[in-house]
Amino acid sequence: MMPMEESVRSALIAYCRMDADNAADCDLLEDLYWDAVSFLEEAGVPMPPDDTPRRAKYDLCVKAIVLENYDNRGATSDKSFAVNPAFRNRINQLKLTAAESYEE
């Protein structure tokens, strides 16, 4: 597994409103990030090229997954991304446009 880029780490810390001085949470953040990337890849959403509109959409999905897993670590909830229409629509759009995005 590649180390997470510092710019990605900083963006996730800000998005999750974490204390950057908490080393344990920052280590967990890296696991949550790679879990989110893997989840999207296995769902049929590969990581788009940098500096594209699709990448911004993809990064927002990753951040949402990381935050959800960070906030609910160890807890169970009846809320999930499966019933979040905004998240589900974004994932579906990324999946449906994956093949055409590399023709840009």
Q: Tens-of-pLDDT digits for all 104 residues of the chain? A: 678 899 999 999 999 998 888 878 888 899 999 999 999 998 889 999 998 889 999 999 999 999 988 888 766 656 555 566 777 777 787 887 776 655 54
**Contact criterion met (CB below 8 Å) for 57 and 91:** no
Quote the pLDDT of residue 19: 83
Contact 87, 43 (CB under 8 A): no
- DSSP state string for 44-64: T-PPPPTTSHHHHHHHHHHHH
